[in-house]
Amino acid sequence: MLSLHDKTVAITGASGGIGEATARLLAERGAAVVLAARRSERIDAIAQNIREEGGRAATCVVDVTSAEDLQRLVATTVDQYGRIDVLVNNAGIAPISPLADLDTEGWSAMIDVNLRGMLNGIAAVLPVFREQGSGHLVSIVSVAGLTVSPSMAVYAATKNAVRTVHEGLRRESTDGVVRTTAISPGYIRTDLADSMGDPHLREQTRKNMDAVGIPPAAVARAVAFAIEQPHDVEIGEINVRPTAQA
């Protein structure tokens, strides 16, 4: 296991699930982490717990739909630790429903958080990566962007778009300054189902998570693996799912 003592990592959506697990694991391995989310009490409590266990952690209240909030996250990370080595774009929502339900508010919310939030992160951190001479963008995508299931068309579209943007950035980053990694989990045991408006879909998703979901820590380990690699080694995409589906 490589040490992450020389890494400073900002993580969006860090108030629970994958983001929290990633912050805890990276801090345990020596990285300095900045937890970002809308729930200030929650990220403050997680950061305090990390510090009590000997880790380095700070917080920044962020709504990823705000470009200014992402800029403040990057500035806070640099002010606190002197640089930002990695931005983990993890914030995401899934108010899924059949297209026939015409949930245009849910569609807009997924576009704003899942896609625009990631683009806001790129816009905020890319100039700093260029100025530093190195940086790593990690985004939590989804296997839903690879295989579209009923009721998940818009959610899958946003995740597919994130993957496309990542590939575009990878192809543009030919000077070795910026690395990119897209991590696509299957069902993860998180509270993502809480953002689903349809009670039937919400309950079915929870059952699927219980049946075949993997713990958030499994995704956190994939993030750590990608970050731990030497700068001249790029892990472009990692799919994280059970070896056997129930």
Catalytic residues: 155
Residue type, 163: R
In this structure, how many other beta carbons lie within 10 angstroms of the beta carbon of residue 101? 12
> What tokens were used for 72?
């403040």
Residue 12's DSSP bridge partners are 36
Residue 161, classed as helix, strand or coil, is helix
b/e burial code for range 54-66 (CB count within 10 A of at least 16 → b): ebbbbbbbbbbbe
Determine contact, residues 183/157, Cβ cutoff 8 Å: no
Q: Which of 100, 211, 207, 205 is nearest to 154 (CA)?
A: 100
CA dist 188 and 124 (Å) reads: 28
Q: Which helix (H) or strand (E) holds 226?
A: helix 216-228
Q: Which of 111, 159, 155, 123 is nearest to 139 (CA)?
A: 159
Determine contact, residues 107/195, Cβ cutoff 8 Å: no
C-alpha 129: how far from its chain's center? Answer: 18
